Chains A and B, each alone.
Chain A
Amino acid sequence: MDISKRQFLSKVATLSVGAVLVPLSSTSQAGINDQPPRRNGETGKRWAMVVDLRKCIGCQSCTVACTIENQSPIGQFRTHVDQYEIQDREHPENITSLMLPRLCNHCDLPPCVPVCPVQATYQQKDGIVVVDSDRCVGCGYCVQACPYDARFINKETNSVDKCTFCTHRLEAGLLPACVESCIGGARVIGDLNQADSQISQLINEHKKDIKVLKPQAGTKPHVFYIGLNKAFENRINGQSAVWQPK
């Protein structure tokens, strides 16, 4: 091989190695795992939900209404109500129960969003975290990243599915199916940016008693609970009696 060919190949090699490394350096500047800009949705609004546990009776109306509205497959839920039994260690005869509605927390820093490799899951300007199911490749990375087990791969669509605060209903001026169907009025949805909205007033009124799930996760959840015992803020330290669909 003559020298010019050799020099040419060595330059090609240098360029190739450089080309391999360029994308990594540019991504590190862009911040891997950083929150991408929000898109779509209503500007100026911040949708959130308050769940008043004192009013929840665990009837699962919300679970059923959500399933009917959003057609989630059997055994897969966008929202459900966990039920717990709490026994006093010192006075075992003292038993109480807790009904805990669970759904996507539409976090301000949703860890599910930056991991999505195709930007199918994103946060709207109004704070609602949604999935473009036509774009979703079903890799399940967001399911892993969600701290609340609020996402799942829909068995029928093979795409990721989750609570959207029924954004399609909100856009039409309707309440989400779970809020609409709640017998005790335990679920309240509203715009946090509106000082006179019911949710803003509730949060102000119960400022000291407002809690979120897994606050230490640093995700800034936007589903707020009234009446949540501290023992339920983080991962449950207890026994399980898992229900499983046959």
Chain B
Amino acid sequence: MITEILSPNIEITWLPWAVAYFFFIGISFAAVTLTLPAILFGHKQSLGVARVAMLVMLICAIVGPVALLADIHQPARFWHFYACITPWSWMSIGAIFLPIYVVATFIYSWLFLRPALLESKAKAGIVGIMARILGVGSWQGQHLLKLMAMMTLILGMIIALYTGAEVAIVATRELWSSYLIPVFFFTTALLAASSLSLLLAYLMHEDNVTLTSLSRYSRWSALLSLAVLAYWFVLAIFTNGAEARSLVLLQHSTQWQLNLGLLVLLFAVTAFFASGSSKLILLAALGGLVVSWFSRWLIFIDGQTIPKYGAGFYTYELPWGTEGLSGILGIFGLWLFLAIVLYQILPWKNRTESRVEVQS
């Protein structure tokens, strides 16, 4: 029997900011897909979903990169990413596409809001001012909107691919080194995006059709995430790949058993509540957000406490400062702030669907 008497405790390197980045950018690119039935395929009843998802996509496309900047320990050197482009590094590829994606979300939501902006030009107050600034010209731009929907979708999928791949190629972390990671990130991102859209739709007094559609997205993405998790266990038990090596490492840890059990339970409860009454679907929305955050927390934060060579686990305690709790609160505060500001200064409240050209 071997006992490790002396070995330093290695601190985690990707901080809760990384969890926040993967959480918010995931929500953003998944929200793009929620806008498509209305914008790209002209499904009139999905316009409420598209409107809320558009707002979610936009806010998270700003909050995500802020969290990413905070996670790199030299944020002022971010320009090095562009001065030293490294095509063989997934992170560098991501750094190229991330700002393009963010700009695409700006243009996409701007085009979506154009009819309402043109309509609001004469209004008094901040909405009118913003409409006069952003509503330049008199063109509607609905064909451009479809084009931009496709562009944003492609860019969003590139972000989904790179965020998944940059984690999955880390061969030395068995928990990360799985082709299921990008898939799991996507299904849980879809869950968080539909859950967050559902909460906003409720607050924005969207109709029942919208709430029901979003809760259906939540239910299916929760079930899909559960299926991916189940498949991970199948691979872990019946193959001898990285998933199996992970299970060997984690199976004797009570903490990990509890965490994985809780994860399964949260997905199941979310899926169950998402098919319930109007009050229950709000609980499902909260559950969807919590489980999406929690799954990323497990992968990144707890995943980094697994030593690559030594015995046992490294210890991690959430610090109170910006590297920990106040950072998490801060980034959610930024999200809330942007949500309030963007909701107040842009004409989301106008029934833009009556002005958006849709094929019935």
Contacts and interface: CB of A to CB of B under 8 A. Distances in A.
Residue with the highest number of chain A CB atoms closer than 10 Å, among B3, B72, B91: B3
A87 interface: yes
Given A117-B95, A239-B2, A147 B9 contact: no
30 contacts: A20-B151, A21-B154, A24-B93, A27-B87, A32-B169, A82-B6, A82-B310, A83-B5, A84-B5, A87-B1, A117-B95, A118-B84, A118-B92, A120-B84, A137-B78, A139-B91, A146-B172, A147-B308, A147-B309, A148-B308, A149-B308, A149-B309, A152-B11, A158-B73, A238-B3, A239-B311, A239-B312, A240-B7, A241-B3, A244-B315
Interface residues of A, number: 74
B344 interface: no
B89 interface: yes
A242 B314 contact: yes
B143 interface: yes
A238 B2 contact: yes
Contact of A135 (B84, B87, B176): B84
Contacts of A23: 87, 93, 96
B206 interface: no
Contacts of A102: 309
Given A117-B94, A118-B80, A147-B172, 20 more contacts: A17-B151, A20-B100, A21-B154, A77-B8, A81-B6, A84-B2, A114-B88, A117-B95, A118-B84, A144-B170, A144-B172, A144-B173, A144-B176, A145-B172, A149-B307, A235-B310, A238-B3, A241-B3, A242-B4, A243-B7
B172 A143 contact: no
Interface residues of B, number: 63
B2 A236 contact: yes
Interface string A31-42: 111101000000
Contacts of B10: 149, 152
B73 A32 contact: no
Given A116-B89, A153-B13, A240-B313, A138 B151 contact: no
B147 interface: yes
Interface in B182-232: none
Interface of B: 1-11, 13-14, 71-74, 77-78, 80-81, 83-84, 86-97, 100, 143-144, 147, 150-151, 154-155, 158, 165-166, 169-173, 176, 249, 304, 307-315
Interface of A: 1, 6, 9, 13, 16-17, 20-21, 23-24, 26-27, 30-34, 36, 58, 75-77, 80-87, 89, 97, 102, 111, 114-120, 135-141, 143-149, 152-153, 158-159, 213-214, 217, 231, 235-245
A143 B13 contact: yes
Given A33-B90, A141-B166, A89 B81 contact: no
